[in-house]
């Protein structure tokens, strides 16, 4: 497995203050991250992934997005997850953003991926489908595609599922801007799906029930965690513990789960839970899954 990570911009990440994106309560307009912590946390994450049994590809932050002129500076490219979805076998679908301010990031990522030899595909402009990478978890070992339906629409989820020829598409509707702010799958050392962790209280009732039925049908455990382990509520931002990068035999996240059901389950499944802090990236609504992407 290959994992893609972006280096930080040369100018301070959101040094002029964060903007506000739709359905993202973490972003408070004008908040400036602690740049020393930003650098430390990115360094720690990079070191961690380079010690795991995977290939890590670190790319430079695009100069075009890191211009001095504030009106042109777009600093969310570090969340490479959002920019594409990969089948982990050479095919990449470039995101078609509902959040239009970020489309330029995906356009630049397409050029970078093509220069590395990847086959990139785009949803046709005339299509009403929207699909953002942070709304997906793809488990190729089981042919299962999990999709959110907030910034994705159902048409976009189905478009990606068809391109990847998946065996099953599981859609979870919520008001959380990306699925990875409230859900993560767990895969074992054989790259098989063995559990799912989700904040079902933040999902629509039908979606939560469909997820329970999916887990029952697949004979895997569903651990239902509180909003604190996810994006949180309108009153209190969560800790994004579910924003994990699942790897064969590992689950890498930003913090321990408050739910006391997760740790014993992962131990039983032989999956190591590793954490590395991303406190400053949380100010833009992201954590480990957002900062990484499979190739």
Give yes or no for a contact between 101 and 77, defined as CB atoms under 8 angstroms apart. no
CA-based end-to-end distance of the chain: 7
Q: Please, what are the domains in the chain?
A: 2-294 (3.75.10.10)
Please give, one letter per residue, the 3-state secondary structure of 27-69.
Answer: CCCCCCCCHHHHHHHHHHHHHHHHHCCCEEEEECCCHHHHCCC
Give strand ranges (E) for the chain: 2-6, 55-59, 84-86, 91-94, 119-122, 136-139, 144-148, 168-172, 183-187, 193-198, 221-224, 245-247, 250-253, 272-275, 293-294
Give yes or no for a contact between 231 and 285, defined as CB atoms under 8 angstroms apart. yes
Q: What is 4-17 written as a DSSP string?
A: EEEPPPSSPTTTT-
Neighbours of 242 (CB within 10 A): 28
**Token pair for 86:** 């990969």
Neighbours of 278 (CB within 10 A): 26
Spell out the per-residue pLDDT of the chain, length 295, in tens: 999 999 999 999 999 999 888 778 888 889 999 999 999 999 999 999 999 999 999 999 999 999 878 878 889 999 999 999 999 999 999 999 998 989 999 999 999 999 999 999 999 999 999 999 999 999 999 999 999 999 999 999 999 999 999 999 999 999 989 999 999 999 999 999 999 999 999 999 999 999 999 999 999 999 999 999 999 988 889 999 999 999 999 999 999 999 999 999 999 999 999 999 999 999 999 999 999 999 9
Residue 22 confidence (pLDDT): 78
**Token pair for 253:** 């996240």
Residue 46 confidence (pLDDT): 98
Give the neighbor-by-neighbor strand order of the sheet with 221-224: 183-187, 193-198, 221-224
Give yes or no for a contact between 245 and 289, defined as CB atoms under 8 angstroms apart. yes
Q: What is 220-235 written as a DSSP string?
A: -EEEE--GGGTTB-SS
């Amino acid at each position: 497995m290959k994992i893609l990570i972006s280096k930080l911009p040369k100018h301070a990440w959101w040094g002029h203050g964060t903007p506000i994106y739709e359905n993202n309560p973490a972003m408070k307009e004008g908040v400036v991250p602690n740049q020393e912590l930003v650098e430390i946390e990115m360094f720690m994450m990079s070191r961690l992934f380079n010690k795991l049994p995977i290939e890590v590809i670190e790319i430079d932050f695009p100069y075009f997005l890191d211009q001095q002129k504030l009106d042109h500076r777009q600093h969310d490219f570090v969340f490479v997850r959002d920019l594409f979805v990969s089948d982990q076998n050479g095919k990449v679908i470039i995101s078609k953003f509902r959040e239009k301010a970020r489309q330029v990031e995906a356009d630049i990522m397409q050029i970078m991926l093509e220069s590395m030899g990847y086959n990139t595909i785009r949803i046709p402009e005339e299509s009403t489908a929207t699909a953002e990478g942070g709304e997906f978890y793809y488990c190729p070992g089981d042919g299962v595609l999990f999709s959110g339906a907030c910034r994705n629409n159902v048409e976009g989820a189905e478009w990606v599922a068809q391109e990847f020829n998946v065996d099953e598409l599981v859609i979870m509707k919520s008001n959380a801007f990306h699925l990875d702010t409230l859900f993560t799958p767990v895969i074992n050392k054989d790259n098989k799906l063995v559990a799912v962790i989700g904040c079902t209280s933040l999902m629509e009732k039908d979606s939560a029930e469909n997820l329970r039925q999916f887990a029952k049908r697949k004979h895997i455990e569903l651990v239902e965690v509180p909003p604190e382990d996810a994006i949180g509520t309108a009153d209190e931002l969560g800790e994004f513990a579910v924003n994990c990068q699942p790897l064969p035999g590992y689950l890498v996240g930003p913090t321990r789960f408050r739910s006391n059901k997760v740790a014993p389950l992962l131990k039983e499944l032989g999956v190591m839970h590793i954490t590395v802090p991303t406190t400053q990236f949380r100010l833009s609504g992201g954590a480990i899954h957002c900062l990484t992407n499979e190739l």
